[in-house]
Amino acid sequence: MARPADPVRLMDIVVTEPLLARSPRVSSRWNRILRQFTRNRLAVAGTIILVFLGVIAVFGPFLVADPRAQDVPNRFERPSWEHWFGTDELGRDILARTVNGARISLASALAAVAVALTIGTTIGLIAGYLEGKAGLWLMALIDLLLAIPAILLAITLAARLGPGLTSAMIAAGLVGLPAYARLARGAALQVKRQEFVTAAQVTGLTRAGIIRTHIFPNILTPVIIQATIGVGNAILLVSALGYLGVGAQPPTPEWGRMLSDAQKFILTEPYIAIFPGVAIALTVIGFNLAGDGLRDAFDPVVKR
C-alpha cells in the first residue's frame, strides 16, 4: 500500500494579504480559477466521475434490491438482464451490493478525511504559530507517525479498536492526519510573517483570534486540495482494511469486504471481484484527477 499523496507544495500557493481584505478582486480571482479548472479536461472528467458516483451513492440504494437478501438457488449467476452484475456465492445481487457499497465507502472515506483534516490542521496551526518547544514536540509526534508504514499503522489501530467499519474510519483518519499537520504548519509559518498578521498583533488580538480570523482562512486553499486527493487515499485504505478482515464485516456491502469475499472464486467467477474493484479504481481516479485540477487551477504556472 502506497503512502498518502505528498501534501500540496506551499510554494504553489502564496498568500500576500488577507483574503477578506481583497473583496473587490475576489470575484475575478475565483472566475479565473473556475476557467482554469474547466479548461483541464482531466479535471472535468474526474469531476464528472465524482458527480456520477455521488448520485449513485445518494439515490442508488433506493432503486436496487436488498443487498443482504440471499437467494442460494440462484448463486453464481452470470451477469444477465435480471442481475446486471450477476450474483455472488449466496445469491446476493452484486449490482445492489456495489451500489450500496458506494454510499458506505464514500461515507467512510469522507469521515476519515474529516478526522484527519480536523485533528491534523489543528495540530499544524498550533505548531506553526507557536513554534518553540511546543511546536517542535507536536511535529516530532507527527514525524513519528510518518515513520511507520501507513498500512501497518492502520492495521494495528483497526485491530486494537476491534474489527468494524468505525474502526477502519478512525484508523484511516489517524494515518492521514500527518499530511494535514505538516501542510497546515508550513502554511501557518508562511502566513504569520505577512504584514496583516503583524498588524493584528499590534492591535492586541489574541493568538487564538489571529489563528481563527487571519491564519486559518488563508491556508484553506492547500488544505482543501489535499483533502480532495486524501479522499481517494482514504477509500483505498478503508477498502484494504476491509479486504484484510479488520474493517467492515459481513454482511456489510463495502467494496473492500466484497473483494475479500470474492477472492475464493476469482478464477471461476471473476465478475464477483471485477465490479467492486472497478468501483474502487474509478473513485480513486476521480478524486485524484479533481485534486490535481484544483491544484493546477490555483497555480496555473506549476504543472505536473
Q: State the average pLDDT over residues 183-205.
A: 80
Over residues 197-204, mean pLDDT? 78
d(CA 20, CA 212): 13
Lookup: cell for 272: 464477483
The CATH class of 39-298 is mainly alpha
pTM of the model: 0.83
Which of 45-54, 64-73, 80-89 is modeled with the greatest confidence?
Answer: 45-54
- Lowest model confidence (mean pLDDT) among 137-146, 204-213, 269-278: 204-213
User: At what angle are helices 132-147 and 165-191 packed, to 10 degrees?
Assistant: 140
**Confidence check: pLDDT of 186 > 90:** no
Average pLDDT of the segment spanning 198-209: 78
Q: Are 53 and 231 in contact (CB under 8 A)?
A: no
CA-derived radius of gyration, the chain: 22
Alpha-carbon distance of 239 to 237, in angstroms, equals 5
CA distances from 266 to 23, 60, 274 (A): 57, 26, 9
Q: 7 pLDDT band (50/70/90 cuts)?
A: low
Is residue 6 scored above 80 in pLDDT? no
Give residue 25's pLDDT: 58
Top-confidence residue, 29 or 227:
227
Predicted pLDDT at 20: 47
